[in-house]
Amino acid sequence: MSIPTNTRLLSGKPPILKAPAGATDCHMHLYLPGYESQPGGPNIAELATVSDYQQVQKWLSLERVVVTQSNAYQFDNRAILQGVKEIGQERARAIVAVAPDASEAQIESLHAQGARGARIMQLPGGAVGIAELAAVEKCVRPFGWHLMVQFNGREIDSYMTTLKAIETDYIIDHIGKFMPPVAADDARVDQMLSLLDRGNAWIKICGGYETSLTGGPDYADVDPIAKRLIQHAPERVIWGSNWPHVGVPREHYPDDADQLDVLLHWADENVRQKILVDNPAELYGF
């Protein structure tokens, strides 16, 4: 089937935040021509190519990127890896879907192509859920990979035992993705802080628009959670644009400059340097 070309805006008003050298987008997706959605995943509404994203990069003054497996592709990682190849591994890495019975040779091949993490998606459409997390971790741990874990933060009680057992690094995605947001002093936010205190958990500031009920550009209901997480462990926070925003209807797409500018309200200049440059460099080996 033919997938329509991109019609999203790829430039606009410049962000207020002047991104530092080496600024990294740690979460975005590509939809390339020739790669169709797979059974179990959502349809692909339109393409999002490397050329498209490079215009967004220029708009936001970003230099490095982590291409993240899309639910649409399920276990077909070819488009993600093709994107990394086109961009070049000096500026790009990949997060891929890994089957719980993946062989060492398969992981080695993915690693050579720029993969550095495995996606665990405990939400509808995910290729690999938390029930398979331990098996996936066993596959990727020898290669120094991390796990990228997304779930509804309101349900963290159900996942704490599994998360505490993780030995490799792992990212809690989308500001904990509390759906809907909770108060910053909620016990479930406390649990996320306790995971950060164990030393191998990271938080990604990304996709606040997917959970906020008050809306952008300030996301007043997500704001207190984000600030508390950042203040607690600024050395283990990263940021992502979540471009091209396929998790929400077209009329709810956020402004990409606003997605970067939210850091002006959530972190000072020194912490923004960590979030955008230093922390991604440590996690991804840039």
> Which helix (H) or strand (E) is 78 found in, with range?
helix 78-87
Q: Residue 258 gets which letter from DSSP?
A: H
- Partners of 202 in the β-ladder: 171
**Tens digit of each residue's pLDDT, the chain (286 residues):** 689 999 999 999 999 999 999 999 999 999 999 999 999 999 999 999 999 999 999 999 999 999 999 999 999 999 999 999 999 999 999 999 999 999 999 999 999 999 999 999 999 999 999 999 999 999 999 999 999 999 999 999 999 999 999 999 999 999 999 999 999 999 999 999 999 999 999 999 999 999 999 999 999 999 999 999 999 999 999 999 999 999 999 999 999 999 999 999 999 999 999 999 999 999 999 9
Domains of the chain plus CATH, in order, are 24-284 (3.20.20.140)
Residue 176: both structure tokens together: 């904990």
Question: What does each C-alpha distance from 172 to 65, 148, 195 come to in angstroms?
Answer: 18, 6, 10
pLDDT tens sequence across 13-23 = 999 999 999 99
pLDDT tens sequence across 260-272 = 999 999 999 999 9
Give the predicted TM-score (pTM) of the model. Answer: 0.97
CA 51, CA 73: separation in Å to the nearest integer? 20
Residue 1 confidence (pLDDT): 61
Residue 59 confidence (pLDDT): 98
Question: What does each C-alpha distance from 257 to 52, 60, 191, 193 come to in angstroms?
Answer: 16, 6, 31, 28
> Which helix (H) or strand (E) is 60 found in, with range?
helix 50-60
Q: Residue 106 gets which letter from DSSP?
A: H
- Residue type (1 letter), 260: L
Is 242 a catalytic site residue?
Answer: yes
Catalytic residue among 77, 242, 270, 279: 242
Residue 50 confidence (pLDDT): 98
Query: Given the structure tokens 């030995």, which residue do they identify?
Result: 167
On whether the CB atoms of residues 139 and 110 are closer than 8 A, the answer is no
